Structure 1
Amino acid sequence: MTEARKQRIQRRPVHGVLLLDKPLGLSSNDALQKAKWLLRAEKGGHTGTLDPLATGLLPLCFGAGTKFSQVSLDADKGYLATLNLGVTTTTGDAEGEVLERREVTATRAQIEAVVAKFVGEIDQVPPMYSALKHEGRPLYEYARAGIHIERPSRRVTIHRADIVGFDNALLTLDVSCSKGTYIRTLAEDIGRELGCGASLAALRRTKSGPLTVDRAVSLDALAAMNEVEREALLHPPDSLLADWPALSLDGDEAARFLTGLRRRVKAQDAENVRVYGPQPKAFLGSAHIKSGELIADRLLSPQEVESLLSAA
């Protein structure tokens, strides 16, 4: 390998959030590694796994952005889910072997009534074919070995489930839900309630917190760009916190806050706030306010703040 080639692939500090439109058939980690290589980023991570058979919004965090990836993990999600009514599979989606095919006799009105039952707080049993861990191993490893593990149900919230398509037993739902919701399980439960069974034919994530897929870029498009164009696609780390209230500090107070010191502020108590310095776009980190005190949760380093300001 030539010296020039070594220079071109040298890793470097990259800070921000890339909204990737993950393609079909690629794992979330593979998508991350490809984007990380294209950006030559030193540090990166994704904000919640999408199955290889799922497409859509996958926020990728780099550098300072990784400090706030948990915010996106905890955020509400949006999906376009296509259910194959009358078909049940071993995995609950199109990847598994077909267990049964049944005729679909339900009318649209009956389907609407069943779907409506699942809006609100519901209990879900996580699927065996999932990355959820049991004694240190993901459940899908047990499933592939033919071992059944009892899973406790968990409470999730379906904020909205609108029917946007119904044709030839393919039912497409626009779903808004809380973190931890398994859309495959939702599909199977709706099919069970209808009496014909169902599996997930396709899944596309459209939203994660304030972030939407219409602002995302494909890997192919990213690969076709030069480095300056790729960097221009990076959103600042505070984009993950865009729906939180903001608080600005003057120069002295900002400097003290960055050292982790609690500050007295004239603001209402809040579980989550994003904190800025006196300069526009000088994002300092996340915090909460309790009894008039601003208490830091995740802080950027002074070097990260300067790097983000220079890139703005």
Structure 2
Amino acid sequence: MGRRGKKKGRPVSGWVILDKPVGMGSTEAVSKIKWLFQAEKAGHAGTLDPLASGMLPIALGEATKTVPYVMDGAKVYRFTVAWGEERSTDDLEGPVTETSDKRPTEAEIRALLPKYTGVIMQTPPQFSAIKIAGERAYDLAREGEKVEIPAREIEIGRLDIVETTPEGHTVFEIECGKGTYVRSLARDMGRDLGCYGHIAALRRVEVDPFTEEDFVTLPDMEAAAPSAEDRNAGVALDFHALDDFLIDTGAALDCLPQVALSDDAATKVRLGNPVIIRGRDAPVEAEEACVTARGKLVAIGAIEAGMFKPRRVFSV
């Protein structure tokens, strides 16, 4: 049996909250960040279309274990709807499929917003990553096949009008849960208003627990990273300035109860053993919680009858 090859890259862990530019795909962005940090492992918490800009949380190393918690977090988008045209992709990328001379008034739009607030049913776009009989909907759509995508339940916490542009487009801000398609929202509102509509601009500004204050840009990281010449020269590389952009892995778990452990208890947990939770405010029961030691994430697990039982352990 052959030996496993040595892992390539640094064992660096944490979150990069990238302000993704328009034109870059999510997979391309992850590859770029992974290369800049020379990380062993990287992944993102929620795809952002190439035509969209804004927050793409990228996990490095041990932080990839916390990706599901960020994906489940609430998102805030700022988006612009252009009225008068519906497009095949529900955004600027696809050809026009329907047109109308009608333009909605702000009063008409405001009257419609309650219909799109709360728990609603939404049909994803034809050009989406939804799987239909094992195939991605966008692959079928590119082949010219029109498929029936079942509506599904989503939750929209708020939907506000920000402004009306000189071109007559409407800028909205939405706070929504996992699985919401903003492109579908523009399509459906346009149909309800009898004028059609599509997304002209889309920017994600928050993914709970991260906010705009956490944004970093590619140019800033490229300026702080070791140069390509140094990497190719094989000299010792200094990543200190680049690593300053990282947010601690545990930041993704603000949604969970958190309990501090002693060093001895943390050692037991890292070996996969349960420990008694101590402290006046420590929960007695919790389906899911995380434990820390010296401010660093140790494990995620359950608390049963005052005993923490680790399910996923993090390296120091």
TM-score normalized by structure 1? 0.88
Q: How far apart are 1:72 and its partner, in Å?
A: 1.1
Greater per-residue helix proportion? 1
Matched, 1:198 2:197: yes
Q: Deviations over 1:195-251 (max 9, x none)?
A: 111111111111111101332111122112233221100111011112433111222
Q: Which amino acid aligns with 1:218?
A: T
Matched, 1:240 2:269: no
Partner of 1:123: 121
Matched, 1:189 2:203: no
Q: Deviations over 1:241-296 (max 9, x none)?
A: 1243311122232222222233333514334322112x2x1210222334433232
Distance change >3 Å, CA 207–CA 288, structure 1 → 2: farther
Partner of 1:274: 290
Alignment check: 8 A CA contact 1:48 1:73 kept: yes
Q: Which amino acid aligns with 2:291?
A: V
Counterpart of 1:285 (choices 299, 306, 309) is 299
- What is the distance in 1 between the residues matched to 2:156 and 2:190? 16
Q: How far apart are 1:32 and its partner, in Å?
A: 0.8
Q: Which amino acid aligns with 1:269?
A: E
Q: How far apart are 1:157 and its partner, in Å?
A: 0.2
Alignment check: 8 A CA contact 1:122 1:156 kept: yes
Percent sequence identity over aligned pairs: 37
Counterpart of 1:229 (choices 232, 241, 255) is 241
Partner of 2:101: 103
Q: Which amino acid aligns with 1:91?
A: T
Partner of 1:144: 142
Kindly report which structure 2 residues correspond to 1:147-158, keeping only aligned pairs within 5 A, or say none: 147-158=145-156
- What is the distance in 2 between the residues matched to 1:288 and 1:213? 32
Alignment check: 8 A CA contact 1:276 1:283 kept: yes
Alignment check: 8 A CA contact 1:86 1:169 kept: no
Alignment check: 8 A CA contact 2:84 2:103 kept: no
- What is the distance in 1 between the residues matched to 2:299 and 2:129? 31
Alignment check: 8 A CA contact 2:162 2:172 kept: yes
- What is the distance in 1 between the residues matched to 2:302 and 2:172? 36
Q: Which amino acid aligns with 1:233?
A: F
Gaps in structure 1 of 5+ consecutive residues: 1-9, 306-312
Alignment check: 8 A CA contact 1:56 1:206 kept: yes
Distance change >3 Å, CA 169–CA 276, structure 1 → 2: same
Between 242-251 and 201-210, report the one with greater CA deviation. 242-251
- What is the distance in 2 between the residues matched to 1:193 and 1:67? 42
Alignment check: 8 A CA contact 1:205 1:213 kept: no
- What is the distance in 2 between the residues matched to 1:103 and 1:297? 58
Alignment check: 8 A CA contact 2:76 2:176 kept: yes
Matched, 1:40 2:52: no
Q: Deviations over 1:72-102 (max 9, x none)?
A: 1111111011111221001111101012221
Gaps in structure 2 of 5+ consecutive residues: 1-7, 226-238
Alignment check: 8 A CA contact 2:269 2:299 kept: no
Q: Deviations over 1:155-208 (max 9, x none)?
A: 000001111011233111111000010110111111111111111111111111
- What is the distance in 2 between the residues matched to 1:124 and 1:46? 24
Distance change >3 Å, CA 190–CA 288, structure 1 → 2: farther
Between 155-164 and 253-262, report the one with greater CA deviation. 253-262
- What is the distance in 2 between the residues matched to 1:236 and 1:108? 43
- What is the distance in 1 between the residues matched to 2:16 and 2:247? 6
Kindly report which structure 2 residues correspond to 1:19-168, keeping only aligned pairs within 5 A, or say none: 19-167=17-165, 168=167
